[in-house]
Amino acid sequence: MAKKLMKGAEAIGEAAVKAGCRLFFGYPITPQNEIPEYLSHRLPQVGGTFVQAESEVAASNMLYGAAGTGERVFTSSSSPGISLMQEAISYMAGSQLPVVIVNIMRAGPGLGGILPAQGDYLQSTKGGGHGDYRVLVLAPNSVQEAADLVIEAFDLADYYRNPVLVVGDGLIGQMMEPVEFKEDYEPVRPLPPKLWASTGHRGGDKPRAIINSLFLDPEELERHNQVLQAKYAEMEKREIRYQGYGLDGDYDLLIVAYGTVARVCQTAMEDLEAEGYKVAMLRPISLYPFPTAAVREAAERASNVLVVELSAGQMIEDVRLAVEGRRPIHFHGRTGGMLATPEEIADKVRRIVGNRGGES
């Protein structure tokens, strides 16, 4: 298929269709309305079903129901709507259901604003809903990567029987960039048949399917939690993704940033390189599991670490855990929908490298 110029939101919707998803349950919220709007006419074209639910609470529970039948299901929302979905996500994780959710983050807290932000990192990676569970979190930084990760997310969700969250921000949702979809979609790894799905019990050896997360007996619930934790341990071994920029060479300062912020940092790095500064960057693509070991190794080869986020500092906590105090960690963040500029980031780098030591 040729490259096509597509809006991020539409590319994400088309990616879901390419992955074989035929069910979307969602609700309008700025800045991701183009995803349900695109799917409302695309899904009927491929024999799929589009439902505009009455709220995100309803949409996430519709997702939970449809996922229980073994079908690939998809929703998208933005920060306040994702907050409403947290209860259902906890249920999905507890019931071990595969679901793909896209969060086009916007500035918060509360009603906040509609401009891009990265203030949902903690919500996405550290829980969000109640109980001991994790969701796999992937963060693209371009429209093409968003499309690729959404397609892969369906495979990961089916493989782990877990919700997978793809977090973009308003920039990814609204940008138009060239996108290429592979002609024939194939899952990246063999997926087991969904014998657990509730599709009607016809007797025989297969037990009745009961999709639930309720286990009143504490010993049984503990065993269930151990099953979930074993899954997350496997995720932490196999699903670490990140991209390095200049990590092979010598560098003085390591930038850690994800999503579109990393692209802004790239511009700053180009300017700094021209001035003779040696800066490298590690861009986590999987936010859970966080590339802890990679960040630690990369940080050891630098004298300082700079974390750049469109938040008041959320991923920096994971960076601190990874670096274990071996290097000073600095932070540059913008909130409210303000974007960090390459000039600001370059300035910060110059001040850090100039000062040599102490955190800021």
Interaction residues for another protein, span 21-50 (CB under 8 A): 27-30, 33, 36-37, 40-41, 44, 50
Q: Is 349 in the site for another protein (CB under 8 A)?
A: no
Degrees, nearest 5: CA angle 251-253-255? 115
Letter string b/e over residues 220-248, b meaning 16 or more CB atoms within 10 A of that residue's CB = eeeebeeebeebbeebeeebbbbeebbbe
Nearest to 91 by CA among 62, 138, 129, 136: 129
Q: Is 113 in the site for another protein (CB under 8 A)?
A: no
Q: Helix, strand or coil for residue 178?
A: strand
Q: Looking at 1, 3, 4, 54, which residue binds another protein (CB under 8 A)?
A: 54
Q: Is 80 in the site for another protein (CB under 8 A)?
A: yes
What lies within 8 Å, CB to CB, of 177 at 6+ separation is 5, 6, 8, 11, 142, 143, 144
Q: Which amino acid is at 119?
A: G
Minimum CB distance to another protein smaller for 51 or for 306: 51
Interaction residues for another protein, span 218-237 (CB under 8 A): none
Number of residues that bind another protein (CB under 8 A): 20
Phi (first) and psi of residue 147, to 5 degrees: -60, -45
Q: Looking at 55, 199, 226, 355, which residue binds another protein (CB under 8 A)?
A: 55
Minimum CB distance to another protein smaller for 24 or for 290: 24
Q: Looking at 5, 46, 111, 227, which residue binds another protein (CB under 8 A)?
A: 111
> From CA 222, how far away is CA 225, in angstroms rounded?
5
What lies within 8 Å, CB to CB, of 314 at 6+ separation is 118, 119, 121, 122
Nearest to 254 by CA among 206, 320, 311, 301: 301
Stretch touching another protein by CB under 8 A, among 5-13, 55-63, 210-218, 253-261: 55-63
Stretch touching another protein by CB under 8 A, among 51-59, 61-69, 126-134, 258-266: 51-59
Minimum CB distance to another protein smaller for 30 or for 86: 30
Minimum CB distance to another protein smaller for 26 or for 328: 26
Enumerate helices (H) and strands (E) in the chain, giving the number of each.
12, 14
Q: How far is the CB of 9 from another protein (least distance, A)?
A: 12
Q: How far is the CB of 128 from another protein (least distance, A)?
A: 17
For another protein, the binding residues (CB under 8 A) are 27-30, 33, 36-37, 40-41, 44, 50-52, 54-57, 80, 110-111
